Amino acid sequence: MRIATLEADQLESNVLQRIVVDAGHECTAFFNGLSLINALHYKRFDLLILESLLPDMEGSDVIRMVRNSASKNMMVMFLTHRISDADVVQGIRAGANDYVSKPVSASELTFRIQALLKISPLPVSEERTVTRHIPDLLGVGFYCFDLKQGIATVHGQPVALEPKEFEIAVLLFSHAGQVVSKEKIMNAIWGRTSVVGSRALSTHMSRMRSKLRLGPDNNVKLVTVYTRGYRLDVF
């Protein structure tokens, strides 16, 4: 099953990820509410486990936004240091399916995860990667590009791309699975096909590939097609 964790503390996030993975599930970690909400535009999860103490918004606000999104049926578990009766009531009213206080043992958390996933209305783990376009947003697999603000994210985490690197990435991702010629890329980005443009393309392509971590770990592969151009494979 696909599980998302939302925990601002890096150490606690690592522990939580290890428990989820050891239980046999896929885990994607987020560290603030906005990164999770952005990721939900292009990726679905079976379960969200979140802390109520977040750097950018209340955990209950995150759940309300989730319940008003395309992921409204996702199971949600609070795993938090807030344990008062009022906190529990607020979390459940916001739409949480379970409320667990910290600290919690790995065995108990694994049991609670399994219990929630058994009543999950529709597992998404077998869904194929979907390319989705919504206004000013391009999402492919683990990647999302905010076309209006020029921001790229991988697994919900922002990646610092230079403007032309961002434009090249958007062009390739919007033509995933297709060969995009060098001439087309240079015309789109530089408006010409000069030798200078060709050298610049190679440099920007290398930097973009490295920054976005284009490889099997992220279910993508950038292929150089001899004499023709580039193809971005998504799998």
Express each pLDDT in 135-144 by its tens digit: 467 777 788 8
Cis ω on the peptide bond leading into residue 103 (within 30° of 0)? yes
Six-digit token string for 21:
């993975």
Per-residue pLDDT band at 231 (split at 50, 70, 90): very high
| Highest-pLDDT range among 69-83, 86-100, 204-218 | 204-218
Question: In this structure, what are the phi and psi dihedrals at residue 190, rounded to the nearest 5 degrees?
Answer: -110, -15
Six-digit token string for 126:
């077998």
Segment among 3-7, 79-83, 159-163 with least mean pLDDT: 79-83
223 forms bridges with which residues in the sheet?
231
Model pLDDT, residue 121: 52
What's at 211, amino acid-wise?
A: K
Which of left, alpha, beta for 219 (phi over 0: left; psi -120 to 50: alpha)?
left
Model pLDDT, residue 81: 84
222 forms bridges with which residues in the sheet?
232
The crossing angle, in degrees rounded to 10, of helices 85-94 and 59-67 is: 20
3-class secondary structure per residue, the chain: CEEEEECCCHHHHHHHHHHHHHCCCEEEEECCHHHHHHHCCCCCCCEEEECCECCCCEHHHHHHHHHCCCCCCCEEEEEECCCCHHHHHHHHHHCCCEEEECCCCHHHHHHHHHHHHHCCCCCCCCCCCCEEEECCEEEECCEEEECCCCEEEECCEEECCCHHHHHHHHHHHHCCCCEEEHHHHHHHHCCCCCHHHHHHHHHHHHHHHHHHCCCHHHCEEEEEECCCEEEEEEC
* pLDDT tens, position by position, 92-110: 888 888 888 888 889 889 9
Model pLDDT, residue 130: 42
Q: Which domains does the chain have, with CATH numbers?
A: 2-118 (3.40.50.2300), 132-234 (1.10.10.10)
Segment among 108-117, 123-132, 190-199, 226-235 with least mean pLDDT: 123-132
* pLDDT tens, position by position, 142-198: 888 888 788 898 888 889 999 889 999 988 988 888 888 888 888 877 765 444 557
Per-residue pLDDT band at 19 (split at 50, 70, 90): very high
Six-digit token string for 192:
């010409």
